Amino acid sequence: MADYDVVVIGAGNAALAASVSARESGAERVLVLEKAPEEMRGGNTYYSGGLFRIAFDTTEQLLRLLPRARELEGFVEGIEPYPAESFRADLLRMTNGHTDPELSQRLISDSYDTACWMAAHGIRFEPAISLGAVKLGGVIKWPKGAIVRAANEGVGLSRMWFLIAERSGINIRYNTAAIRLLQNSQGRVCGVMVRDSSGIHEIQAGAVVLGCGGFEANAAWRAQYLGRPWDHAKVRGTPHNQGDGLRMALEIGALPWGQWSGCHATPISAEAPPFGDRRLTDKTNRLSYPYGVMLNRLGLRFVDEGEDQALFTYAKFGGAILNQPGGVAYQIFDHKVAALLEPRYATSEPIVAQRLDELVRKLELDHEAALRTLNEFNRAAGCGSFNPSIPDGMATRGISPPKSNWAQKLDTPPFSAYQVTGGITFSFGGLKIDQRAQVLSTAWTPIPGLYACGEMVGGLFHNNYPGGSGLMSGAVFGRIAGANAARDRA
């Protein structure tokens, strides 16, 4: 008899969802392997903002997840339904049509039900008030589909999942890294080789679920798959996601899937540490650039800062910044928008001046070119009325790149600048899974006994990503993987 019915590798949102799902689907002995020590547990999930992108049709549906939100002034009035078609349209637009049609369909159609399942197990949610929401005339205006986050963000989500797993009788081993998948003579995955403080051991399992993240923390793999300058990128989350699960699966013939040359990367403070800081978590993000401009060291703008709301551009603009000279840029704002900057800007000190020429002289860039760019921008600034809660169509005229929305003049002192770089969040390339979250082989047949979820799933995200989809995908496919692994145990 196997040592465990189901072994789950990893201890983030996806893996813990899988373990709880396996347990409730009849697996009595479920083991979670966490490579990190207990004080570093929880993967990227711990560092996350806890935002979940959920398709829903009515305000009542959303209030079931957020029972106390009625008490929040202006909350109910500001909710706009986010039907499945809107989620699908956003995912298709973000990925230039490349998202895996079957997997994305499942992600979208199961998103609300899975959030309810999490809530039923004890995950509490709260309004994602500080992530792009804007209060106008007493009403909170939300970025599309980005209303719900786990109570206390990623720290809270991780803590709640561990509590739920422990209460369900799931065994969790820390400091225990999976290093190889074991197969029987029929090719069925029947266990894992692990390394812990006492050495190397085999653990026999009825089925194995991989939920151990991407390769974002592995500099060599970043250089190999993403190319320069990604080997130098700061990592926004855990140092433990080194591509171990992907390597183990590829070694036994799993099918690589999705955009292996792509990743999620966001504008973060240039002062951020090389890996995620457990105190700051996602507070190094700098996502208010739609209300200002970004200049590189040559003193030039390089993206359309107002292309769309930040949660639809942030995941690609990290890469755009990292690819500028020195891998850095400045975000520049005037006083008119100071109150719109996300609260997390307070974790670094801006460079401030009363005049634009004075400001650029304080920055490490080509001063003349920067001033020329800012003056050109001001001459090209849009007319109409500025509205931070929607793409307002206030676009520049005659400059390249354009700024398509929120292109107000920078004319009201004091002016402020924040230096930013691009921080990698997670890699997009992963494994091909089927509708049961079972991993397919390069022969396009399911590998018996092997399931995957979370960042390890390839195909959903290409080039860009709608904010809040990573945790939702982890929960949806974690739940499916755990349930099928429990039913499938040998």
Amino acid letter for position 244 = D
Closer residue to ligand FAD in complex, CB, 44/373: 44
3-state DSSP helix/strand/coil % of the chain, to nearest 5: 35, 25, 40
CB atoms closer than 10 angstroms to residue 92:
14
Which of the residues 351 through 390 are near ligand FAD (CB under 6 A)?
A: none
> Is residue 374 a contact partner of residue 361, using CB atoms and an 8 Å limit?
no
Provide the 8-state DSSP code for 349. P
Nearest C-alpha neighbor of 114 from the set 36, 208, 106: 106
- Return the sign of the alpha-carbon dihedral for residues 88, 94, 97, 101: negative
Which residue from 119, 125, 14 is spatially nearest to 72, judged by alpha carbons? 125
Half-sphere exposure of 389 (CA within 13 A, CB side): 13
Helix/strand/coil for 402: coil
132 binds ligand FAD (CB under 6 A): no
Name the segment binding ligand FAD (CB under 6 A); options: 70-78, 249-257, 322-330, 463-471. 463-471
CB of 436 to ligand FAD, least distance (A): 18
How many residues of this chain interact with ligand FAD, rule: CB under 6 A?
42
Closer Cβ to ligand FAD, 206 or 454, answer by number: 454
Q: In this chain, which of 191, 459, 468, 482 binds ligand FAD, going by CB under 6 A?
A: 468
Using rule CB under 6 A, residue 127 touches ligand FAD? no
Judged by beta carbon, residue 238 or residue 464, the one nearer ligand FAD is: 238
- Binding part of the chain for ligand FAD, among 134-142, 230-238, 293-301, 315-323 by CB under 6 A, reads 230-238
Q: Given the rule CB under 6 A, which of 8-16, 106-114, 333-341, 437-445 is the region that contacts ligand FAD? A: 8-16
The span from the CA of 191 to the CA of 5, in Å, is 10
Cis before 401 (ω within 30): yes
Tell me which of 237, 327, 350, 482 binds ligand FAD, using CB under 6 A: 237
Angle between helices 469-488 and 13-24 (to 10 degrees): 30
Q: Shortest approach of ligand FAD to residue 462 CB, angstroms?
A: 15
Determine, following the binding rule CB under 6 A, whether residue 25 of this chain makes contact with ligand FAD. Answer: no
Q: Judged by CB under 6 A, which of 23, 35, 344, 479 binds ligand FAD?
A: 35
Which of 5, 304, 334, 455 binds ligand FAD (CB under 6 A)? It is 455
Candidates 198-206, 211-219, 254-262, 444-452; binding stretch for ligand FAD (CB under 6 A): 211-219
Q: Does 203 bind ligand FAD (CB under 6 A)?
A: no
Query: Whole-angstrom Cα distance, residue 45 to residue 198?
Result: 28
Q: How far is the C-alpha of 168 from the C-alpha of 120, rounded, in Å?
A: 13
Task: Burial-class residue 298 by CB neighbours within 10 Å (0-12, 13-18, 19+).
Answer: middle
Strands (E), 72-225: 125-127, 134-136, 139-141, 148-150, 171-173, 177-183, 189-196, 199-210
Q: Which of 259, 404, 425, 464 binds ligand FAD (CB under 6 A)?
A: 425
Instruction: Pick the binder of ligand FAD from 449, 454, 459, 466 (CB under 6 A).
Output: 454
Residue 33 as a binder of ligand FAD (CB under 6 A): the answer is yes
Q: Is 296 in the site for ligand FAD (CB under 6 A)?
A: no
**Closest C-alpha to 108, from 91, 120, 125:** 91
Q: What is the smallest separation between the CB atom of 405 and ligand FAD, expressed in angstroms?
A: 23
Q: By CB under 6 A, is residue 49 in contact with ligand FAD?
A: yes
Asked if 110 touches ligand FAD (CB under 6 A), the answer is no
Site stretch for ligand FAD (CB under 6 A), options 62-70, 103-111, 234-242, 428-436: 234-242
Contact footprint for ligand FAD (CB under 6 A):
9-15, 33-36, 42-45, 47-51, 177-178, 211-213, 236-238, 240-241, 244, 276, 282, 425-426, 454-455, 468-471, 474
